[in-house]
Structure 1
């Protein structure tokens, strides 16, 4: 059986690392990288650290509006599919790469299998929501990470092709945490390219969504909250957001925020595991905080992973200093028996269903 797997963004590389390891035991997998994340620290380093096979195709498509990027991807992926003639196409998550691959495949009558299906915000203003809904409805098999995702698929009449498999992000976290470096082995590089050390005590933040970073005012309010904390905040900055973050910190003389270039996956899970608390707007990092038992504040309007919203383990906050601080001072309640993301073997289940 020949499978074409399409990836393009950091979270997809992580999931593909564990699924491809199983898939290649039984199938001929062709890996396509759309190029949506093209920066070394957002792309190449993940293939190196996670031992992901080198892409058979790198389409080099990035930048532009959602429509421009998705359109170019559909055209390029269609050429790959016509050339490779796979039995199935495998996609992950909810990026433009996901939707483009799904549309290109279904129009060529190639079955689409979607990992991380069924997640819903119930908000079509969010571009990822559009991507995931469209992908789910044209897919042949839907692999859901959680019970809530299965419930959403059932409401949309898709339960007959849905499978509850667990979360491959949890598989990856469980596997790679064992080889992640300690604090002394984490290599941080500031925005000027100079190496910087990790404090013994720190908070860890990622913030990249357009709704949080498209104006100085909103990002400044988030950074002001970090500046007021009782320990430094390590903030690896997305490439498109670096200059704004640097300008705000310099303008306001913020000294309690460590701006760095993006970090690799092993460094990121090490930073999560050793941090006091996590502040993020990333769907992936809030799960990794949950896996590590670290309290998280998610700067976002909608619940992405309802399973994490228990015992103050994950709380939503506005891009507002007072709201973020109010959520950070609450204490979380841990329940070691609560495992909503599976048992760390979702990749085997996904592979088993794909090759049936």
Structure 2
């Protein structure tokens, strides 16, 4: 029987993360822990891991056993790639071959898609996964909520994270994470395939009604606005056909150009995150299985669902592995 602790002992940064959050003693790390990249490599959600560490404060064996029970033992190829990146070494041959195969695929975006991306900083990848695959994830989400698609009375159970459903591991959710078509889409936008896929959560946005108002998230940024802002993406996978009034993603298109042209400086010291941009927002409708991708400089958020059916979604992103941004936060 494989010892569930042993595979984790040498993972770069993992013991330091455990020690920092639980306040256990651990050898000092010479560099910051790349938390997001580390957890995505392991197939763990950021929120679930930090919550587990902060609340349970497990010892090291209990933490590594929890990882194995939650996400399984580390994937050998992903671990080898992460270790090489962490150590500043060349990627393993298997990873080089994977990236080359992605780049050799036929393009998934046409000229109109590329023009929209360049102009708006937003693009839709049609049929990132099939409608049947999207429906399977939606069925799983309904089961998590213990809700009935045919019974609106079951759609409004108590939740502590608004429309966000803090669930990260399931075979149906791994289908888009392993989608070659999706990997190609992000490689086209970045210009390379040296990217890692996120382990992110689900979303359930029910219709507004008397007694239930849309809780957000409203327009916001998730990243640091201190220049220079490197290209990074965010993305949402619709699991149901999502019209403009169906709680669709909303964005302020083209805002990356305004940031580059000195918009923040024009505020004369005002907090950019408090500026109301809602009058400039547009919704992004798309079909089940479609992936909406946007630059992270674009203000974005969900919208109030004014239809008669919930919007179901999964967050899936590909991004370059990176160290924590230690610049002043803006």
Q: TM-score, normalised by structure 1?
A: 0.26
Higher RCO, 1 vs 2 (CA within 8 Å, ≥6 residues apart)? 2
Higher helix share: 1
After TM superposition, the score normalised by the length of structure 2 is 0.27
Larger strand percent: 1
